[in-house]
Amino acid sequence: MKEPIFLEPIFKDYIWGGTKLKTLFGKNTPYEITAESWEVSTNKNGKSIIRNGIHKGKDLEELYQDKKLRETIFGTKTKEKDIFPLLIKFIDANSNLSVQVHPDDKYAFEKENGEKGKTEMWYIMECKQGAQIICGMKESVKQEQLADILQKTNLEDYLNFVSVEKGDCIYIPSGTIHAILGDTIICEIQQNSDLTYRVYDWGRKDKDGKPRELHVQKATEVVRVENRPNVIKTASWGECEREIYSSAFFKVNKLTIRGIKKEVSNRETFYAMNVVNGTGSIQTKEKNYNLKVGDSFIIPATLGEYELNGNMELLKSYL
C-alpha cells in the first residue's frame, strides 16, 4: 500500500453539539448542530468511507475484514484481532455532556452481548479560559457509598472537576465517571465501542421533550471510585515526537512538526493520524497531500518512507 488512506467522517447531531466542527475545521456536515465527527471508525453505528486511492468508496471495515489486505494495511499485530481496535472522534461540546461511565471488556462481554468495553483518551484541541472537565469522584467517596450517591440530586458535589487548557491530554480508563463540559473541543481516541451508561444529564430533555434515559444501575456496577484524573500537559512541548499515552489497548504519540520530519511506516501496526493544530503536508514517493487541522488519515503498515512538512501538531495512534 503506497499511499495514506484519507477518510470521510460520520457526523452525529446530539443535542449538546455546536457549529465549530464546521466553522473551525471545515467539516462538510449536513447538520446545523454537529456534536461528533467519527474520524476513524469501523463501528456498527458509523463506518468511515475511504475517499482516495484504489479503495475509494469502500468503508474501512471492508478493508479490515479482507484477510489479504489486513496485514498489508493494518500490520501484523492485527492478525488475530477480529475487530478493528480503535474509534477516533472529534467532539464539539457546545454544552455539557452527560455525566457517564463506560464498562470494561469483561463486563461488556458478559452483560452487553459480547460487546467491547471502553477505555479512552482525550486531547483538548480548543477550550474557553477556565475550562473544566469532570474526571472521577472526590477522594472522600468510598465504593460502598456509590449506589446511594449516584441516586442523589446533588451528585455534582461528589464529582471531581479538573481544570484543563489547550494541549492537555486526559486518560479515562473504563470505570471512570466523567463528562466533557461546555465550550470544549477534543480529539477522543478510544476502544472500538459505543457503550455509554448515563448517570446524570443536567435535567436536560431530548428532541421529543422527554428526559434522556439514564443507566444508574449499570453505572453502579462498573464505576470505580479509586480512578483518579491523570492530566498530561503537552502545550509547551517543542518540535519532537513524544509518547503521551500507552495502554494495553493502544498508544498515542504527539508529533510537533516545524519544517520537515522524515518518517517510515511500521510493519507491525498502522498509524492513525489526526491533525490537531496547524497546517502542512504529507509527501510520499507517489504524491504530496495537503493537511490542515481536523484532517485524519491512516498510514498503512507497508507504506514505507514519507515526510511530514509544515507547522502543525498531530496525534499518532497505534498498537
CATH of domain 240-318: 2.60.120.10
CATH of domain 5-233: 2.60.120.10
- Mean pLDDT for each 10-residue chunk of the chain (319 residues)? 93 97 96 98 97 95 95 95 96 97 97 96 97 96 95 93 97 97 98 96 86 94 94 93 94 97 97 98 94 98 97 98
277-301 burial by CB neighbour count: b if 16+ within 10 A, else e?
bbebbbbbeeeebebebbbbbbbbb
Indicate the pTM of the whole model.
0.96
Q: Determine phi and psi for 145, rounding to 5 degrees.
A: -90, -10
pLDDT at 241: 96
Q: Could you report the per-residue pLDDT of 109-160, keeping only the tens digit for each?
A: 999 999 999 999 999 999 999 999 999 999 999 999 999 999 988 999 999 9
Are 5-233 and 240-318 the same fold in CATH?
A: yes
The reply to whether 267 belongs to the active site is no
Cα distance between residue 51 and residue 127, in whole Å = 30
User: Which residue, 49, 51, 48, 30, is CA-closest to 89?
Assistant: 48
pLDDT at 256: 97
Q: Provide the terminal-to-terminal Cα distance of the chain, rounded to the nearest Å.
A: 19
In the set 198, 204, 228, 258, the catalytic residue is: 198
Give me the residue spans of the domains in the chain.
Answer: 5-233, 240-318
